[in-house]
Structure 1
Amino acid sequence: MAGPAFRRTGLEWFSSLPACLLLLSVVLFSTSSDIHNRMLQLGEQLWSGYYKLRMEPVAPSCDPNRDLEAALAAELAAAPAPDDPMAALLGAADRNPADVRLALERALADCREAHLGYQALQAQLTPGVRAYRAVELFVADLIAFGLSAQKRILVILVMLCAVTATLTRHHIAMRAMETRLDYTVSHTLQTIANVMLLGSSVIFRHASLAADTGITSEALLLHDLWILGFAALVLASLYRLIRVPDDLRPGGSLNQALLAVPLYTVMCLISGTYFAVIGHASGIGIYLGKMMELADMFLNVGLYVWVGMMLKQTQLATRVFNVFRPWRMPPELLAVVAVLVAAVPTAYTGASGIFVIAAGAVIYAELRAAGARRQLALAATAMSGSLGVVLRPCLLVVVIAYLNREVTTDELFGWGRWVFLLTASLFCLVVMGLNRHSRLALAPASQAWPAMRAALKPLLPYVLVIAGVVLVYRVALDVRMDEFSAPRLLPVILLAILGYEHVCRGRQREPGESRHQGLEWSLRSATNDTTAEIGALLLLLGLSVSIGGVIERSHLMQSFPQAFDSAWSAMLLMVLILVVLGMIMDAFGAVILVTATVASIAYASGIHPVHFWMVTLVAFELGYLSPPVALNHLLARQVVGEAEVSAALREGESFYQRHERIIMPLIAMGLALLLVAFVPLLFYA
């Protein structure tokens, strides 16, 4: 769990400034590809045949003024003697002078045409073309460098952020460190796990060097970066182990202390021990290296986290809530509205956990201000990111389509809309039917509508800023806002919103709104949070891939039939496996594992690929809400605070009331999973 927040000094820029520059470089490199494509189109429009002008034309080596008669005489004179047997065999002795002349005339014509083309190209190479070409080729080189640097950027970003998360006690665990025993046990095991990571990376490097296939300089550099990063991580965990904070209580319970161990540490200890036992000590390093195969995807995850943290620094979420405030909705209805509205930004932030981190605190605070019980507010906060993962342009769906040629993004997003409507309806029924404690009464429309229209006015500039950025990309770069362009457009949109608030909020503050601290402070705060969250999420994701390697190498999935006679039996097994994977693995790592193992069994058993992946997405979300891990609840507690969760546990008399934040989302998503999994089988199985 998160430790104390960053101190707002200039010192935190030592970690977050490099992270900010790395993330900006990812946006720059990805955007430069769009710029280059547009420059090629514009160059062709301005100068016909621009693709020929991109390189300096080379003068033809032939002579356009060649004497045809002299050349003919030379050719005929060089002809072999008629009695030469080799010439007879090749047919050279039968050369017709007319044919030789014709060939020479054609060659001379081609030569003169080549020289005319060269002169035409030279004439077209005006100073303007040369200047434009220089810029276009620079952008092309920038793209090539960016593509080659992706893996290096990812390794540096992961390790920099992982060290930051360790130093700030921000790794994700089942509970926060509250006692000295919690702290000692957690950081001791973290140190052991980090030493395992370092050792595995060193062994993997030596094995790669010893391999007969050889190793490229790029691969060797990546090995060295992993080793340097894990060495820094070991030092960071040792430093934290030695420097015990003063705010911890003495004593503690060992069982409770083990729950304070970060999840990535647990995964590392499990996978590292397994690989050591089977004599494959480099296993963790190998599976972490597999992250490099999807470096662009993991960098997009980092960009989405950054987007979420910048969103957290804006007033956008609060002003959206202001639109609904005039209706004076009962807390249960407001919770439903909050979760439904959150589905759209969830789709644009890539995964449910990222949105919970970004906007969970705002959702919880607004629901509490409206009179919601702590349990209800915590449940809505944890579920705020669960419904939108099936909507366009969610990165998780794009990754599924990328790894599985049996499905397309259009198919998945098309059926995702229906799955969203189903889960939204079930959540509404559960909250309003089973959990409603207040009377369903709204403010009179005559009072609410004018206030709602007034609340919409402050949102108009945000809409214009977003539309302006999207329009610039559409007109200037011919880039539409979709699932492929969203990772590079969203950071620009959020930077534009922060810039707008920097310019305008100081002059036009809403009543009761705090004074805006400025663009630099907002960006620094967002990047501070991003640095720690990327370290916690991507390290957890990387070790999830390693756990997937344990499952793969242990041949656990081979113990199940590779095909079932009944799609119903196969679906029942799929549901159980997918929920368990969602409970113990990060979404992206779980998708990679499912693609390699479970998916083929489902297809062979007669389950339609689109149906299978819709079930997978819903099952994962149920897993993220299910104990013992319940990742979305852990993230909700991380942004809300341990004190609020502890206070919620003391509320209510019955077991259900004390654990409503866990049980209520399980009911809604569990019903959704059963319907999504088994109802479609009635129509095609």
Structure 2
Amino acid sequence: MSETKEPAFLRVRFYTTLPAVLLLLSVLTYGTAEMIHSQLLALGEHWWTGYHTLRHDPDDPDCDPIELERLRDETLTKKPAIVPDGPRPDTPVPLDDLDFNDDDAAPPPSPAGGEAAPKPVDDLEFDEEPAPDPDKLNLPDDPGAAAAAGAKPPKWHSFEASRLQCIARWAAVKEARERITPSVRRFRAIEQTVEWIVDLGVNHLSHLLALLILICAVATTFFRHHIALRPARSRLDHLASDGAQLAAHLLLLSSFWSFKRIEDTALADHGHGLLHWIWIIGFGLLSLASLFNLLRPPADATGKTSIGRALLSVPLYTTMCLIAGLYFLIAEGHPAGLAIYIGKLTEHALLYLHIGLYVWVGMLLKRTRLSQLIFEVLRPWRLAPELLAFVTVVGAALPTAYSGASGIFVIAAGAIIYRELRRAGARRQLALAATAMSGSMGVVLSPCLLVVIVASLNSEVTTDQLFDWGFKVFLLTAVLFFVVSLVNRQGKWTMASPREALPGTWRAVRALLPYIVLFVVLLVGYSYALDANVDEHRAPVMLPVLMIGVLLYDRLTGREVVGRSGRVRRFGFRKALGAATSETTGHIGALLLLMGMSICVGGIIERADVMSAVPEHFGSIYLTMGVLVFVLVIIGMTMDPYGAVVLVSATIAEVAYRNHIDPVHFWMVVLVAFELGYLTPPVALNHLLTRQVVGDTKVERAEHESGSFWARHERVLLPIAVMGTALLLVAFVPLFVAY
């Protein structure tokens, strides 16, 4: 594409993906607002002790101390009757207690058997009832008795306590109102506005994720940017690819419509009404986009192909969708199954939104001079190709950890890594192998998002534990890569002397110094202003701001950047930001749809109860680990990392725990096995991404090179040798040590 047409093309791409960029900015705003609100609360507490009581105007207490005082005093004025010991007059006397021989009770009958003559009224004696003895009163809890005894009744104390509490509440309200000064009102207005932004984000994270996936997927579909084993080139390739996508999107549309009808029929209000409509409208638009592409194949499509190659051109997510959807529809008669499992993405909406931010970081990094300047530091040393590949792969571990996944870093820096290795004299196969592996070693380092997802789904492990052991695994893989590179060298390991290399290195470091200062200033600003450090929780929010700052610096200083073709070109901030965000949209649509379909495939494995065929106990921990390693590598070969983590957490992890495998050890094995899977055919996701950024032509040239079996397939065999050896050591050495 010529230089005159590229800006117009970038403008079209930018404006078609503008909604997705606005969504990313919304996520960025939410994350930043969360940090700002935390600091505002701390600042308010520092300036006004007890600020939490001043955040809202206090309401009048619902009590009256005067009324409580009146009720209290009434307890002293009431005098209940005093009752002596013995039965009350109205209490019936038991029959057994009647003494019929008592002369006072009944006179004896006359000798003749007649009734006793009643006494005359004048003969009756009326004795006065003696006054009861207060000490013999049988009402110890009676308030009147307590008052008569000179003590205050319990009700008096109860009303008095309530009255004092009421007075204290009125005093607190009065004090709070006196403390709510105009400055407090202005401060809390700002704080509550930020809180409203945070609450708005929390309540709509699932909606943001659904919109981000669907809008990006529409752009990805229009521009034919989905991930497939082979790119579509011929008309038959495009027919197979677009036709399969249309079928998959219609299947998804019907699944969400069925899911909505189920919830409507059940009259269950789960608050998903708007979310259902977002999915339905989104997949409707995706269906239209697929139909448009199907009816209008590219003008440069060729006519030469085969059925097998055409099937390889079908995007991976489409194949997964058709497999899972047909299973739910035919095997279970459950058309809503796809919708239910895709909905699981929204259960961890913030984590998947962070993936979008990490992709954005990678694309912004791609538009800066940082990667180019770092290689300028190494170039004066004239390192041997194998040694330069080792330094590159190990050095890429840290940015990979911050980008969230190995594939994102390959997309961001793969083209530069391949070009610099080829410039240093590396053969094509070695350059492709190093490019594909450039993101593999950093997924176990802090603050990698994949590890955060593992810890969030599994309470048995924490991020601190995983990152601690992850650093040891990183050192192991680095040593293994160095050994394999040493054995695989095709010449002497030469390098320039320090006297020759240091002047050029110093010049390159001086060019890097402004960027280092910029990073330090921004990080210190975050640390002092927001008490935020670049960790696994805040990195997704902070890194885009840092990279935008770098882009802005490049624009202000008029820096130049080297394009894929090697030409040097100037770029402005708007153009660079537009290109980065446009490419971000395509990658987000491809990655998140693939992740969603991976969860669906994991769902059918879970529902098919495949794990029930696995015995609860294998009898040997080594046999258990061997089976798990095999299964995990297969999963890594066929699924994306995030969907695979969900599947393993739901099914396989319990098998490991039941067989007494330490959870931290198990998840280290999982992460290494996944990375081996991403570098292993038939899918080999990192190799597919390498092909995407380097170009099909360069990869095909490498595939047609002659030589030994290793030389012809080095780009695949070298990563497998390193990561396969690392997996065996990580899996079994701890068992030998522990048992």
TM-score by length of 2: 0.87
Q: Shift of residue 106 of structure 1?
A: 5.0
Q: Shift of residue 113 of structure 1?
A: 3.4
* 1:244 aligned onto 2:289: no
Given residue 146 of structure 1, which amino acid in structure 2 is its aligned partner? Answer: G
1:196 and 1:6 mapped to 2: Cα distance?
37
Q: Shift of residue 102 of structure 1?
A: 5.8
1:18 and 1:408 mapped to 2: Cα distance?
36
Map of 1:59 onto structure 2: 60
Asked whether the equivalents of residues 352 and 389 of structure 1 are also in contact (C-alpha less than 8 Å), the reply is yes
Q: Shift of residue 26 of structure 1?
A: 0.7
2:341 equivalent among 287, 293, 302 = 287
State the Cα deviation string for residues 181-236 of structure 1 (Å, max 9, x = none): 11111111111111111111111111122236x123x3111111111111000000
Map of 1:369 onto structure 2: 423
Given residue 212 of structure 2, which amino acid in structure 1 is its aligned partner? Answer: L
Given residue 642 of structure 1, which amino acid in structure 2 is its aligned partner? Answer: D
State the Cα deviation string for residues 521-579 of structure 1 (Å, max 9, x = none): 11111110110000000000000000001111111121111222111000110110000
Asked whether the equivalents of residues 564 and 604 of structure 1 are also in contact (C-alpha less than 8 Å), the reply is no
Map of 2:613 onto structure 1: 559
- Secondary structure, in 3 states, of the residue corresponding to 2:44? helix
Aligned pairs for 1:456-535 within 5 A:
456-506=509-559, 514-535=568-589
Map of 1:548 onto structure 2: 602
Q: 1:78 to 1:21 in 2, by over 3 A?
A: farther
Asked whether the equivalents of residues 165 and 171 of structure 1 are also in contact (C-alpha less than 8 Å), the reply is yes
1:24 and 1:324 mapped to 2: Cα distance?
36
1:354 equivalent among 408, 411, 414 = 408
2:307 equivalent among 243, 254, 268 = 254
2:407 and 2:604 mapped to 1: Cα distance?
24
Asked whether the equivalents of residues 58 and 118 of structure 1 are also in contact (C-alpha less than 8 Å), the reply is yes
Q: 250-259 vs 232-241, which deviates more?
A: 250-259
Q: Shift of residue 245 of structure 1?
A: 1.1
Q: 1:416 to 1:63 in 2, by over 3 A?
A: closer
1:299 and 1:79 mapped to 2: Cα distance?
73
Asked whether the equivalents of residues 349 and 394 of structure 1 are also in contact (C-alpha less than 8 Å), the reply is yes
Q: 59-68 vs 108-117, which deviates more?
A: 59-68
Map of 1:199 onto structure 2: 254
Given residue 608 of structure 2, which amino acid in structure 1 is its aligned partner? Answer: S
Q: Shift of residue 513 of structure 1?
A: 8.3
2:67 and 2:507 mapped to 1: Cα distance?
84
2:561 and 2:223 mapped to 1: Cα distance?
33
1:513 and 1:646 mapped to 2: Cα distance?
23
Map of 1:163 onto structure 2: 218
1:403 and 1:275 mapped to 2: Cα distance?
25
Q: Shift of residue 18 of structure 1?
A: 1.3
Q: 1:95 to 1:553 in 2, by over 3 A?
A: same
Q: 1:159 to 1:6 in 2, by over 3 A?
A: farther
Q: Shift of residue 399 of structure 1?
A: 1.1
Q: 670-679 vs 631-640, which deviates more?
A: 670-679
Map of 1:324 onto structure 2: 378
Map of 1:144 onto structure 2: 199
- Secondary structure, in 3 states, of the residue corresponding to 2:396? helix
State the Cα deviation string for residues 345-369 of structure 1 (Å, max 9, x = none): 0000111111111111111111112
Map of 1:24 onto structure 2: 25
* 1:659 aligned onto 2:697: no
Map of 1:228 onto structure 2: 281
Map of 1:187 onto structure 2: 242
2:327 equivalent among 266, 271, 274 = 274
1:81 and 1:129 mapped to 2: Cα distance?
59
Asked whether the equivalents of residues 357 and 635 of structure 1 are also in contact (C-alpha less than 8 Å), the reply is yes
- Secondary structure, in 3 states, of the residue corresponding to 1:8? helix
Q: Shift of residue 82 of structure 1?
A: 7.5
1:128 and 1:452 mapped to 2: Cα distance?
55
Map of 2:46 onto structure 1: 45
* 1:335 aligned onto 2:389: yes
Q: 102-111 vs 409-418, which deviates more?
A: 102-111
Q: Shift of residue 439 of structure 1?
A: 2.5
Asked whether the equivalents of residues 218 and 289 of structure 2 are also in contact (C-alpha less than 8 Å), the reply is yes
Given residue 524 of structure 1, which amino acid in structure 2 is its aligned partner? Answer: G
Which is richer in helix? 1
Sequence identity percentage: 47
Q: Shift of residue 116 of structure 1?
A: 2.9
Asked whether the equivalents of residues 68 and 159 of structure 2 are also in contact (C-alpha less than 8 Å), the reply is no
2:186 equivalent among 131, 135, 154 = 131
Q: Shift of residue 10 of structure 1?
A: 2.7
1:618 equivalent among 672, 678, 689 = 672
Given residue 45 of structure 1, which amino acid in structure 2 is its aligned partner? Answer: H
- Secondary structure, in 3 states, of the residue corresponding to 1:543? helix
Asked whether the equivalents of residues 583 and 626 of structure 1 are also in contact (C-alpha less than 8 Å), the reply is yes
Specify the structure having the higher radius of gyration (Cα).
2
Report how many residues are paired. Answer: 676
- Secondary structure, in 3 states, of the residue corresponding to 2:19? helix
Q: Give the unaligned 5+ runs of structure 1.
A: none
Q: Shift of residue 109 of structure 1?
A: 4.2
1:537 equivalent among 567, 576, 591 = 591
Q: 237-246 vs 457-466, which deviates more?
A: 457-466
* 1:8 aligned onto 2:12: no
Asked whether the equivalents of residues 189 and 261 of structure 1 are also in contact (C-alpha less than 8 Å), the reply is yes
Asked whether the equivalents of residues 15 and 160 of structure 1 are also in contact (C-alpha less than 8 Å), the reply is no
Given residue 140 of structure 1, which amino acid in structure 2 is its aligned partner? Answer: E
Asked whether the equivalents of residues 400 and 591 of structure 1 are also in contact (C-alpha less than 8 Å), the reply is yes
* 1:580 aligned onto 2:634: yes
Q: Shift of residue 122 of structure 1?
A: 1.5
Asked whether the equivalents of residues 339 and 380 of structure 1 are also in contact (C-alpha less than 8 Å), the reply is yes
1:30 and 1:80 mapped to 2: Cα distance?
68
Q: Shift of residue 14 of structure 1?
A: 3.2
1:568 equivalent among 609, 613, 622 = 622
- Secondary structure, in 3 states, of the residue corresponding to 2:440? coil
Asked whether the equivalents of residues 429 and 715 of structure 2 are also in contact (C-alpha less than 8 Å), the reply is yes
Map of 2:265 onto structure 1: 210
TM-score by length of 1: 0.94
